[in-house]
Amino acid sequence: MYLTAEKKIEFFKKFGGSETNTGSSEAQIAMFTFRIAHLTEHLKSNRKDYATQRALIALVGKRRNHLDYLKKKDINRYRAIVKELGLRR
């Protein structure tokens, strides 16, 4: 499994502030970004995997919604997470 419990805790500590803060926008965006990168690599070698392609598009949409929410609520946190994750925005 590419996403272990330890990896999730690491993301939540780094981006959410603590390992129990699993619902923060920054932590969710970081998790989505990690999963998007993994699915993108999978699709490079399995280009006809349409179920995974559909899941990837859904994840990108979820990340987009979280980013839009964060941009509306606090522009400084938005800029920090985009810079930290290296997103092209």
DSSP count for the chain of H helices, then E strands: 4, 0
Higher-pLDDT residue of 67, 8: 67
Instruction: Tell me whether residue 12 is in a domain.
Output: no
Output the pLDDT for position 84: 94
Q: What's the domain count of the chain? A: 1
Residues 6+ positions from 77 with CB-CB distance below 8 Å: 25, 26, 70
Instruction: Tell me whether residue 37 is in a domain.
Output: yes
The pLDDT tens digits for 22-48 are 889 999 999 999 999 999 999 999 999
Instruction: Tell me whether residue 46 is in a domain.
Output: yes
Output the pLDDT for position 35: 95
Q: Which domain holds residue 63?
A: 24-85
In this structure, the dihedral spanned by the alpha carbons of residues 68, 39, 20 and 72, taken in order and rounded to 10 degrees, is: 0
Question: Residue 26 to residues 1, 44, 45, 49, 88: CA-CA distances in angstroms?
Answer: 23, 27, 30, 29, 16
Q: What percent of the chain has pLDDT over 70?
A: 99
Output the pLDDT for position 80: 94
Instruction: Tell me whether residue 19 is in a domain.
Output: no
Assign residue 51 the CATH number of its domain: 1.10.287.10
Instruction: Tell me whether residue 10 is in a domain.
Output: no
Instruction: Tell me whether residue 42 is in a domain.
Output: yes
